[in-house]
Chains A and B, each alone.
Chain A
Amino acid sequence: MGVPLPLWSPALLALALIVLPVLGLFARIDPARLPALLTSPAALTALELSVRTALIATVLALLLGGPLAVVLARSRFPGLRLVRGCVLLPLVLPPVVGGLALLYLLGRTGPLGELLRDWFGLTLPYTTTAVVLAQTFVAMPFLVVSLEGALRAAGSEYERISATLGAGPWLTFRRVTLPMLLPPLGSGLVLTFARALGEFGATITFAGSLRGTTRTLPLAIYTEAQADVDAAVAMSLLLVAIALLVILVARPKAVEGRV
């Protein structure tokens, strides 16, 4: 089937809108300074912090968001639709709003933040933990949504058969549901990691910005862009490279459009 002619020009425009800005970034590179900028302590510290926090956030999203996806896809209770809607909130909210929300709940003067401080002597803002929380907040819905979608698409027939053969819910989950989930899990995790890595708004609002502790790569790019655009561009290249790596190597099926 041929593509209708009128679709071509908007399609090309859409492609240009996505690709040209990234090419523009490459055009801004100062080749002479690039190696030094890429290996500057500020860039490497931020890269290390970013990868570390995004990995932890991805694991957290798996441990908490995975079970949530199964519950949302397989259980029935009043208000399920509302809960499903709430899970989508971080996808729709501007991340800055998410950061403010986290701050007012878990900040030093927030209701939960005060409890944490009085009971455990914990303060979250300005810590690496706060960065991980902000990243998990914005990235976890990607995992929940992709897993839940896969579960619903697969249907519960195999699980029902497993139950008729005498397997309990836990055994069925381990031997039937879990293996079905593995392929979509891969793409969900990759998306979650990529989103956590790029997190900016919630992090700078909730966690602040300090080198080595909370200044992840996106925050470092923002700070550098105030004074040294070449350094900011070099750091942006790091993020673009990681993003391309994620798309090319991990090849998440959701990204390629064949679930």
Chain B
Amino acid sequence: MNRTPRGAAPTAVLVVLLSLLSGCGAASGERNTLTVLAAASLTESFREIGDEFSKRNPDVDIRFNFQGSSLLAEQIRQGSGGDVFASANTDMMSKVRRTGALAGDPRTFATNQLTIVVPPGNPAGVESFADLTNAETSLVVCAPRVPCGSATEEVESVSGVRLDPVSEESDVKDVLHKVVAGEADAGLVYVTDASSAGDEVKAIDFPASDEVTNEYPIARLAAAEHPELAGRFVEFVRGERGRRILGEYGFGAP
């Protein structure tokens, strides 16, 4: 009788599973996939820039990885792949640069500032930066380890007001979500996050924020699979079209 050898079935299942896993990356065939690691605050603007870029380069798929810049910097340091890195401050870019993971010099392509956001009704009646210290006001900020958190610390030292947040989140979008969900009376986020949230939050500007500006650098990674394409994307972001989109989302020009 012609029987399959024992053990062949589990092995076959394993082989099929593994080939499914490895197939994920290659499924696009001839198309090129550009992996862009970008700060969480760039989510909306970079998606639009990516769409525009893909329209002009139909053979390119862009895969975005939006997370806190610190986490991305650490992932790059650990050797996770990617073609382009766009950071929410220069510190994280320098950290990556020191490890030799950059190809070429980083270029600043946008600037950003912090603003106070409150839920639409402004339940705690926040009017100024100093109001954030009221004991009854539950304030959510970014953890000092991430760029929006270090900007928050700078604003504190510029204004001389010590904040007492109820929670320190790991990226700026988490802060925004807490305010949008009504689970916090106020949050400190970037101007651009406030504008992308539209009517879901109310933004309150404060003088000290003008003195603390985050510069957003972008660079090609040394490990890029498509160096030429990565360079084109960087130029596109810094070009007239990219700048216009970034401006629409509230970013300042470099």
Residues of chain A from 217 to 231 with CB closer than 8 A to chain B in the complex? 222-229
Whether, in the assembled complex, A107 has its beta carbon less than 8 Å from a beta carbon of chain B, the answer is yes
Which one of A151-159, A191-199, A206-214 is at the interface?
A: A206-214
**Would B143 and A125 count as touching, CB distance under 8 A?**
no
Task: Provide the bound-state CA to CA distance between A125 and B177, in Å.
Answer: 14
Q: Is B182 an interface residue (CB 8 A)?
A: yes
> Hey, what's the 0/1 contact readout for B176-197 against A, CB within 8 Å counting as 1?
0010011100000000000000
Name A's interface SS. loop
Residue on B with the closest CB to A107?
Answer: B183
The 6 closest A-B pairs by CB, nearest first: A6-B7, A208-B167, A126-B166, A226-B70, A227-B145, A109-B182
Given A6-B6, A108-B183, check contact A229 B178 (CB 8 Å).
Answer: no
Q: Tell me the smallest distance from the CB of A173 to a CB of chain B, in Å.
A: 42
CA distance A204 to B125 in the complex (A): 27
| Distance in Å: Cβ of B79 to nearest Cβ of chain A | 12
Name the one of B7, B68, B145, B178 contacting A208, with C-beta atoms under 8 angstroms. B178
- Give chain A's interface residues, CB within 8 Å of chain B: 4-6, 9-10, 103, 107-109, 123, 125-126, 208-211, 214-215, 222-229
Q: Does B29 sit at the interface, judged by CB under 8 A? A: no
Contact between chains at B166 and A226 (CB < 8 Å)? no
Q: Does B168 contact A (CB under 8 A)?
A: yes
Set B11, B140, B146, B181: member contacting A226, Cβ < 8 A: B146
Is B165 engaged at the interface, CB distance under 8 Å to the other chain? yes
| Residues of chain A with a CB closer than 8 A to B71's CB | 225-226
From 1 to 33 in chain B, residues with beta carbon under 8 angstroms from any chain A beta carbon are 6-7, 10-11, 14
Q: Which residues does chain A contribute within 8 Å of B10, judged by CB atoms? A: 6, 10
Q: Are A209 and B169 in contact (CB under 8 A)?
A: yes
The answer to whether B170 and A209 touch across the interface, beta carbons within 8 angstroms, is: yes
Q: State whether A210 touches B170 (Cβ < 8 A).
A: no
18 other A-B residue contacts (CB within 8 Å) besides A10-B10, A209-B168: A5-B6, A6-B7, A108-B182, A125-B183, A208-B169, A208-B178, A209-B143, A209-B167, A210-B165, A210-B167, A210-B168, A214-B167, A223-B168, A225-B71, A225-B74, A226-B170, A227-B146, A229-B77
B99 at the interface (CB under 8 A from A): no
Which chain B residue shows the least CB distance to A207? B167
Interface positions of B from 113 to 140, Cβ below 8 Å from A: 138, 140
Interface size class of B (residues with CB under 8 A): 20 to 34
**Cβ B167 vs Cβ A227 within 8 A:** no
The 19 sampled A-B contact pairs (Cβ below 8 Å) are: A4-B6, A5-B6, A5-B7, A9-B7, A107-B183, A108-B182, A109-B183, A125-B166, A125-B183, A208-B140, A208-B168, A209-B143, A210-B165, A210-B168, A214-B167, A226-B70, A226-B145, A227-B74, A229-B77
Minimum CB–CB distance from B169 to chain A (whole Å) comes to: 7
Contacts of B80 in A (CB 8 A): none
Q: Is the CB of B74 within 8 A of A10?
A: no
Let me know if B78 is at the binding interface, CB within 8 A.
yes
What are the interface flags for B158-178 relative to A under an 8 Å C-beta threshold, 1 for contact and 0 otherwise? 000000011111100000001
Identify which of A4, A103, A210, A227 contacts B70 (C-beta below 8 A): A227
A155 shortest CB reach to chain B, Å? 37
